[in-house]
Amino acid sequence: MVRPATDGLRQAVFSSLAARIPGARFLDLFAGSGAYGLEALSRGAAGGVFVEKQPKASACLRHNLAAVCKSLNRGLDDLEIRQADALTAPLEVGGTAPALIFIDPPYEIIPEVAPRIFARFDLLLAASASTDTIVVFEAPGEIELTPAGWTCVKRLGKGGRQPTASFFRKEA
């Protein structure tokens, strides 16, 4: 089931990231409709990769991506949709670590997948020697993520049972 990020939360995320978006490459995991990645594109991101496992959601995403690119008068170059499992799909964007990673998994699988995803990011960032990647992880307010080796530098949202977005940076 596709559950797009709420407009208010997504706007708050992108207001917080404003200076980092122009020219950035992104990775949108559990992309669904592509809301996070498409917003990044509309705000000047250079390109990115969307990872979505479900065929129906991938088809919707392809349609949405084509529509956004048409409205931006840009081609699909530097953009890719990987119909794959976010836990096994390649994470590189253009052969390197992306500057921005958006993660919006089904809430019920977060406790299972979050540690595995952050472990994969550790490997990705170590291989690329990147230290500037920001991970934006959407989760319900009652879930507090504390991945080893990562610092939560900001959390947006009202908490409780409302969606929140946590910004993580790899510890030096």
What is the pLDDT at residue 1?
41
Q: Give the tens place of pLDDT for each residue, 31-86.
A: 999 999 999 999 999 999 999 999 999 999 999 999 999 999 999 989 999 999 99
Domain carrying residue 101: 23-170
User: Is 17 a domain residue?
Assistant: no
What is the pLDDT at residue 5?
52
What total of structural domains would you count in the chain? 1
User: Is 6 a domain residue?
Assistant: no
User: Is 101 a domain residue?
Assistant: yes
Q: Which residues pair with 114 in a beta bridge?
A: none
| pLDDT confidence tier of residue 2, bands split at 50, 70 and 90 | very low
What is the pLDDT at residue 57?
94
Here the CATH number for the domain that contains residue 92 is 3.40.50.150
Q: Give the tens place of pLDDT for each residue, 105-131.
A: 999 999 999 999 999 999 988 888 776
User: Is 56 a domain residue?
Assistant: yes
**What sign does the dihedral 110-21-90-171 (CA atoms) show?**
negative
Q: What are the tokens at 85?
A: 């499992």
CA distance 40 to 34: 10
Q: Give the tens place of pLDDT for each residue, 128-165.
A: 877 689 999 999 989 989 999 999 999 998 767 788 99
User: Is 15 a domain residue?
Assistant: no
For the stretch 77-95, what's the b/e string if a residue is b when 16 or more beta carbons lie within 10 angstroms of its beta carbon? eebebbbeebbebebebee
pTM for the structure as a whole: 0.93
User: Is 13 a domain residue?
Assistant: no
Establish how many alpha carbons lie within 13 A of residue 101's alpha carbon, considering only the half-sphere containing its beta carbon: 29
| pLDDT confidence tier of residue 3, bands split at 50, 70 and 90 | very low
SS3 64: helix
